[in-house]
């Protein structure tokens, strides 16, 4: 049987970075890995294997008992973040980590140090997989794919382990917020599911941000600066004025835990016109609505000052806190927590300061909390993953399946 490490090292060699395009999947690399996964699923004799035109891979393992057991789902995404290149990933294996600095790239002087990433010290004596300092690693979420595939392979090779129907899916475009856009919940066939897309070992998440995106368009008026007195309206300065109206300490760099924020992600423009892009995040729905209302109120107030057409704002909801949909079936979180404890992992139940496919899927009728992959420092050149954490993730998946079969 192929190990989870062997699978992971194979998958990260494939460039599957997603980009902000309307096509699904947004890059050819995602369809390429989808085809590889389909072929692997065929060799494992999985059933109902499909790859649709949008790059979604689905398959199932039929129940091998007549006992009524809920159909369980496990989901991971195939794409990697556009924040940094995932092309030509050269993984490095660090055996028996000694707790000191790890030289990722001597030529570029890129170091993975416990001074900057103290969580490294939790893995002394363990084997780590790191980058070579020039790309991301791709544990988000190719570790999740490897862990699901290894679990299914194990079940197929151990038919004596009784289980209900198991459904698996691999999705495109998650990193650009569109992983659930074309997910067919009915076709998938699970009663509930887990995304294997979390970070460090033990992470278990069933709360996430309510999320919206905002675009603030600012109209100025350009006049030759030599004769601009009383006539010029500098859109860039108006943009600065808008920014200054928002709470200074409610940004990602100033918040943690359950605290929400306004995050300015892009600013562009010139004297004549400018545009601000924000994302708005909050766990509490009422507070979330107040944040959106504040952004509109600021635009309205500045329009009174500078003219009714100076500021226009568009706010679009993106996803909502899945807690509301998961709490009625909280047993899926409790079972995952007990499964972790049973295999020697301490559950770390925390809110996701972001979103996953599971957030949207939960609102599409498929309650889907999130389980750890074992990785750290996603979306960057300092990304790493301990091999034993991937192995523990496989054990947790199998234990969840076992616990539902015995319930």
Q: Could you tell me the domains of the chain? A: 4-207+321-406 (3.40.630.10), 210-319 (3.30.70.360)
* pLDDT at 371 > cutoff 80: yes
Mean of pLDDT over the chain: 96
Match 């919940």 to its residue by tokens: 185
Residue 58 CA: distances (Å) to CA of 70, 204, 206, 338: 18, 24, 23, 27
Q: For residues 242-267, give the mean pLDDT.
A: 96
CA dihedral 144, 148, 154, 156 (to 10 degrees): -160
* pLDDT for the residue numbered 20: 83
Q: What is the mean pLDDT of residues 120-148?
A: 97
79 is catalytic: yes
* Per annotation, catalytic residue among 15, 40, 79, 395: 79
Residue 356: which pLDDT band, with cuts at 50, 70 and 90? confident
- Is 174 a catalytic site residue? yes
* Per-residue pLDDT at 318: 87
Q: Give the model's pLDDT for residue 62.
A: 96
- The Cα 163–Cα 16 span in angstroms is 33
Token pair 């899927």 is at which residue?
Answer: 361
Q: β-strand 370-372 against 192-198: which pairing, if any?
A: parallel
What ranges make up the beta strands (E) of 153-249?
166-171, 192-198, 203-205, 210-219
What are the structure tokens assigned to 374, written together? Answer: 């074992």
Distances (CA, A) of 250 to 232, 253, 268, 306, 338: 32, 8, 22, 26, 36
Tokens encoding 231: 């006539």
How far is the C-alpha of 73 from the C-alpha of 80, rounded, in Å? 22
> In DSSP terms, which residues pair with 51 in a beta bridge?
57
The yes-or-no verdict on residue 115 having pLDDT over 80 is yes
- Tens digit of pLDDT for each residue in 166-175? 999 999 999 9
When pLDDT is cut at 50, 70 and 90, the band that residue 1 belongs to is low
pLDDT digits (tens, 9 = 90+) for 29-75: 999 999 999 999 999 989 999 999 999 999 999 999 999 999 999 99
Residue 177 is predicted with a pLDDT of 82
How far is CA 76 from each of CA 97, 195, 236, 356, rounded to the nearest angstrom?
Answer: 28, 6, 42, 10
* Confidence band, pLDDT 50/70/90 cuts, at residue 308: confident
Closest C-alpha to 56, from 40, 28, 77: 77
Strand order in the sheet with 384-386: 92-94, 128-130, 384-386
Query: Catalytic: which of 140, 141, 174, 383?
Result: 174
Give the whole-angstrom CA distance, residue 184 versus residue 238.
Answer: 45
C-alpha count within 13 angstroms, C-beta hemisphere, residue 268: 4
The end-to-end CA distance of the chain, in Å, is 28
Q: Is the pLDDT of residue 384 over 80?
A: yes
Q: Are 60 and 189 in contact (CB under 8 A)?
A: yes
Q: What is the per-residue pLDDT for 355? A: 78
CB 89 within 8 A of CB 25: no
């Amino acid at each position: 049987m192929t190990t989870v490490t062997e699978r992971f090292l194979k998958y990260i060699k494939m460039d599957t970075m997603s980009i902000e395009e309307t096509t699904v999947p947004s890059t050819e690399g995602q369809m390429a890995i989808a085809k590889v996964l389909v072929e692997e699923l065929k060799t494992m004799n999985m059933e109902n294997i499909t790859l649709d035109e949008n790059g979604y891979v689905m398959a199932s393992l039929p129940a091998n008992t007549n006992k009524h057991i809920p159909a369980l789902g496990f989901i991971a995404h195939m794409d990697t973040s556009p924040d940094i290149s995932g092309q030509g990933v050269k993984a490095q294996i660090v055996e028996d980590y000694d707790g000191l600095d790890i030289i990722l790239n001597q030529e570029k002087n890129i170091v993975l140090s416990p001074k900057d990433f103290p969580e490294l010290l939790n893995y002394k004596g363990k084997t780590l997989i790191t980058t070579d300092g020039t790309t991301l690693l791709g544990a988000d979420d190719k570790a999740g794919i490897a862990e699901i595939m290894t679990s299914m392979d194990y079940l197929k090779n151990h038919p004596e382990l009784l289980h209900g129907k198991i459904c698996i899916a691999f999705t495109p475009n998650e990193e650009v917020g569109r992983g659930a856009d074309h997910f067919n919940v009915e076709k998938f066939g699970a009663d509930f599911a887990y995304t294997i897309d979390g970070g460090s070992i033990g992470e278990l998440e069933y709360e996430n941000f309510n999320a919206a995106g905002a675009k603030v368009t600012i109209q100025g008026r350009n006049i030759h600066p030599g004769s601009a007195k009383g006539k010029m309206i500098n859109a860039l300065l108006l943009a600065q004025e808008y920014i200054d109206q928002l709470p200074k300490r409610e940004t990602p760099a100033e918040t943690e835990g359950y605290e929400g924020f306004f995050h300015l992600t892009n600013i562009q423009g010139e004297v004549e016109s400018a545009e601000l892009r924000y994302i708005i995040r909050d766990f509490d729905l009422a507070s979330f609505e107040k944040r959106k209302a504040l952004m509109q109120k600021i635009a309205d107030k500045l329009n009174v000052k500078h003219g009714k057409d100076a500021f226009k704002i568009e706010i679009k909801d993106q996803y909502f806190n899945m807690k509301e949909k998961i709490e009625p079936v909280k047993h899926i979180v409790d079972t995952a927590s007990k499964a972790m404890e049973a295999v020697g992992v301490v559950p770390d139940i925390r809110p996701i300061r972001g979103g996953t496919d599971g957030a949207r899927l939960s609102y599409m009728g498929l309650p889907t909390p999130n389980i750890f992959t074992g990785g750290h420092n996603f979306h960057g050149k300092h990304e790493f993953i301990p091999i034993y954490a991937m192995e523990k993730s496989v054990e947790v998946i199998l234990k969840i399946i076992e616990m539902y079969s015995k319930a």
